[in-house]
Amino acid sequence: MESAMNNDEPLDPLQENTADDMPTVDDDVMEQPEGTSTNDEVVNESTDESATEDVEILDEPLTPEEELAEANAKVLRITAEMENIRKRLQKEVSEARRYASTGLIRDVLGSMDNLGRAISAVSDEERTGGIASGVEIVLQQLEQILEQHGCTKVSPKGQVFDPNQHEAASQLPSSEFDAGTIMEVLQDGYKLHERVVRPAQVIISLGAVAEADSQSPDEENIDSDNSNGDESSQV
């Protein structure tokens, strides 16, 4: 009985205090996350507050006067763009109509050239009356029709050569025309309003100096022989 009672005696008080004072593993684990979560919450709250302030600044509503001014500016800008587009399209349509007959005129000019060559091959005596006279009248009528539609003939004899309007067939020396001047027209040119439909084929003058320089060696020898003969006869 005594042994049994001895077994029921309480433990040493030091042991009891030590057991009670020792922290459990669960307490340590729970303490650290609580502190960390608190810091994270503070940072998140400050970030949310700054983001909210930025959104409030960006989403600040405009006053009615500002909205009206912005709308008026947009309307004026769109109206100006539409007006520019309208003018550009109107100009393109006008240009297309103005020069729509360019291809047809070029084809007609080829036939007119053939008629002109046929008339040139006939003598003056044969032109009076008959077919040649009729062909010449038809050619004149075609030229009048072209003029009514804004197509005019270009005969640039005596003018300065312009590569934008003339086509050089050859260059020859000339004492009558200055260098760079058109001395002969091989084929007349034509313009439709301001555009060249067909450039005139021309011969360009090289000038009088070029004419002297281009003298052949045989001609120079003949001139020298003649001068020598004149000197011997005088002696």
pLDDT, tens only, 34-76: 444 455 554 455 565 555 555 555 567 878 888 888 999 999 9
Distance of CA 235 to the CA centre of its chain: 78
In a domain, 59, yes or no: no
* 165 shares a domain with 137: no
Q: How far is CA 58 from CA 52, 53, 62, 64, 67, in A?
A: 10, 9, 11, 17, 15
174 and 132 within one domain? no
Residue 99's pLDDT band, with cuts at 50, 70 and 90, is: very high
Tell whether the model's pLDDT for residue 233 goes beyond 90: no
Pairing, β 195-198 against β 182-187? unpaired
Query: Residue 125: which domain range?
Result: 101-149
Picking from 116, 134, 149, the residue at the C-terminal end of a domain is: 149
Is residue 230 included in any domain, yes or no?
Answer: yes
Report yes or no on 96 lying in a domain: no
pLDDT tier at 144, thresholds 50, 70, 90? very high
Share of the chain above pLDDT 90, in %: 43
- Residue 210 pLDDT more than 70? no
For all residues of the chain together, what is the average pLDDT? 76
Over residues 228-235, the mean pLDDT reads 48
Reference 158, options 190, 174, 178, 182; nearest CA is: 182
Residue 194 sits in the same domain as residue 181: yes
pLDDT tens, residue by residue, 145-179: 999 999 999 989 999 999 999 999 999 998 889 99
Chosen domain end from 149, 176, 209: 149
Do residues 144 and 218 both lie within one domain? no
Instruction: Please count the structural domains in the chain.
Output: 2
Q: Which of 120-129, 154-163, 186-195 has the lowest mean pLDDT?
A: 120-129
What is the spatial distance between Cα 68 and Cα 76, in angstroms, rounded to a whole number? 12
* 158 shares a domain with 200: yes
- Residue 168: name the closest of 187, 152, 195, 151 by CA: 187
Is 13 inside a domain boundary?
Answer: no
- The answer, as to whether pTM is greater than 0.75, is no
In the block, which residue shows the tokens 């004492």? Answer: 175
Residues 218 and 171 in one domain: yes
Residues 138 and 159 occupy one common structural domain: no
139 and 215 assigned to the same domain: no
Residue 35 lies in a domain: no
Are 133 and 161 contained in the same domain? no
